[in-house]
Homo-oligomer: A and B are copies of this chain.
Amino acid sequence: MNMNVAERQGDCHSQLLSSHNARDLLNSVDAFLFDCDGVIWKGDTLIDGVSQTLDMLRSKGKKLVFVTNNSTKSRRQYAKKFQSLGISVSEDEIFCSSFAAAMFLKVNNFPREKKVYVIGEEGILEELQLAGFTGLGGPEDGKKTVQLKPNCLFEHDKTVGAVVVGLDQYINYYKLQYGTLCIRENLGCLFIATNQDAVGHMTDLQEWPGAGCMVAAICGSTQKEPIVVGKPSTFLMDFLQQKFQISCSKMCMVGDRLDTDVLFGKNAGCKTLLVFSGVTSHSTLHDPSNSIEPDYCTNKLSDILELLGP
């Protein structure tokens, strides 16, 4: 049976946010979980009306939590970024995938005497250190080069027991070889991906390759699949629930990505709100090939504020 696009679009069960259902949503949840990139900001630019919307939600007693797959910063660095944009957020309210990687190792009793090789940026190294682990690699190895010459033997640390891969703007062949050797040759070495986002708004003007690019490179050379700790994996949800004692059904996940944010929310049993201020367009949501449907969708976060009125 062939259906045309218009008919298929009718199949999408997402409700456009209205003043009516926005009120229902607000009344039915105790916590809002926000993705950051494409929802709160684009690059280093705050999206219009975000600050006022967050203030309104706090004034109504809602718990606010920020769940981001971007691993370049630590919780501390994110709190600082929020502050620089004029928004007060505490470290405890931030759940970034750099933190998730460190917590994954902690809850799995990763031995303290083993090391962690990082293909990624400062945020991962900082979270590893805060959790009591020894990180290697990261930005420092971005300056290192290799020479494919006879008798050149690339040495790697045999005590590396995990390789964490996230977004790395200083990716190079040295790091690819280092991570590959650890995963292929160190017995039982874990391969942890902060996330697998294809691209992200690393700057306000355009998208750039995301962690999914670096993770895929290591999959390509090792022929192994990673453990993913960021969205849509529900690993972080356990921490959220433990911390805030709120049932998932009383949470609403707000994000700009179907395959990470909305799926993360749905996997956990949260309500979900898709905003079109990031990477997902109306046509992507309604495309017949898309099977991930948020409960609600709207152009941007501050629509909630406008719809609820003064």
Interface residues of A (CB under 8 A from B): 43-45, 146, 148-154, 168-173, 176-177, 180-181, 196, 198-199, 202-206, 208-210, 212-223
Contact = CB atoms under 8 A, between A and B. Distances in A.
Secondary structure type dominating chain A contacts: loop
A169 B198 contact: no
Contacts of A43: 148, 150
A30 to B, nearest CB: 35
Nearest to A218: B213
Contacts of A202: 148
A152 B203 contact: yes
A203 to B, nearest CB: 5
Contacts of A205: 151-153
B206 A222 contact: no
Given A148-B202, A177-B209, A213-B217, 10 more contacts: A150-B204, A151-B203, A153-B203, A168-B173, A169-B173, A171-B171, A171-B176, A173-B208, A212-B220, A213-B221
B173 A203 contact: no
* Tally of this chain's copies: 2
A184 B30 CA distance: 40
A12 B256 CA distance: 51
Contacts of A217: 209, 213-214, 216-217, 220
28 contacts: A43-B150, A148-B169, A148-B202, A150-B203, A151-B205, A168-B173, A170-B173, A171-B173, A171-B176, A173-B208, A177-B208, A177-B209, A180-B199, A180-B208, A180-B213, A198-B222, A199-B221, A209-B217, A209-B220, A209-B221, A210-B221, A212-B221, A213-B218, A213-B220, A213-B221, A214-B220, A216-B217, A216-B219
B203 A149 contact: yes
A199 B220 CA distance: 9
B198 A223 contact: yes
